[in-house]
Amino acid sequence: MRFVLASASPARLGLLQAAGVEPEVVVSGVDEDTVSGPPGELALVLAEHKARAVADRLALTDDNASSGPILVLGCDSVLERQGVAFGKPADAADAVARWRDMRGQEGILHTGHCLISLSQQSADHRSISALASATVRFGSPSDAEIEAYVATGEPLRVAGGFTLDRLGGWFVDGIDGDPGTVLGLSLPLLRRLLVDLGIEVPSLWSP
């Protein structure tokens, strides 16, 4: 069984690898700016778009004709604060302003998951989606710390403008919920989606 991650996120790839899965990475190319909606709904819809874009691409390629089942996982993360969705900062100035506003505050990190099962024996795609959410309690970095953090470029590459497992971890006081959700992929939720498709987690572990 091939497991395909429809995301370029190093954090998602690292989570899967640490959990025993060695996925192929196929970036969807979906334009995130074409989708809008409430934060949680936005994360879920984008995850579905990304998974479907990659699944459709794989279903059309000739070299899959002799292959076995393919699983495609699409994910997308959005930070919600006061009902507003925040993706990646537009630029360094936006990242600095955002951090100054959210320090000492809380936000909800939503990560949408969409899992699609492709089979050469059937023209139908089996698809299942779900949303995971966790509350993030931000620390209170100084202006100098914020500027130094933004200068590394890290906040510009990630949803919400922060990371949990890298430099941004210095400025996060706590998480209420599954930390994986904040990293971009909830393993417990993914397991439930796999079970719903009749797949046991150990069958995906690399030898």
Count of beta carbons in the 10 Å neighbourhood of residue 104:
11
Q: Which of 128, 32, 33 is nearest to 72 (CA)?
A: 128
CATH of the domain at 165: 3.90.950.10
| The pLDDT of residue 88 | 92
pLDDT tens per residue across span 17-39: 999 999 999 999 888 888 889 99
Q: Which residues of the chain have pLDDT under 50?
A: 62, 64-66
| The pLDDT of residue 65 | 47
Hey, which residues does 122 pair with through a beta bridge? Answer: 119
Alpha carbon distance 154, 143 (integer Å): 17
Which residues form the domain of 120?
A: 2-204
Contacts of 139 (CB under 8 A, 6+ apart): 103, 104, 170, 171, 172, 173
Say if CB 127 and CB 116 are below 8 A apart.
Answer: yes
Contacts of 133 (CB under 8 A, 6+ apart): 40, 108, 109, 110, 111, 177, 181
Q: Which of 113, 107, 103 is nearest to 160 (CA)?
A: 107
| The pLDDT of residue 110 | 98
The domain total for the chain is 1
The residues assigned a catalytic role are 76
Alpha carbon distance 4, 27 (integer Å): 10
**What phi and psi, each to the nearest 5 degrees, are found at residue 9?**
-70, 120
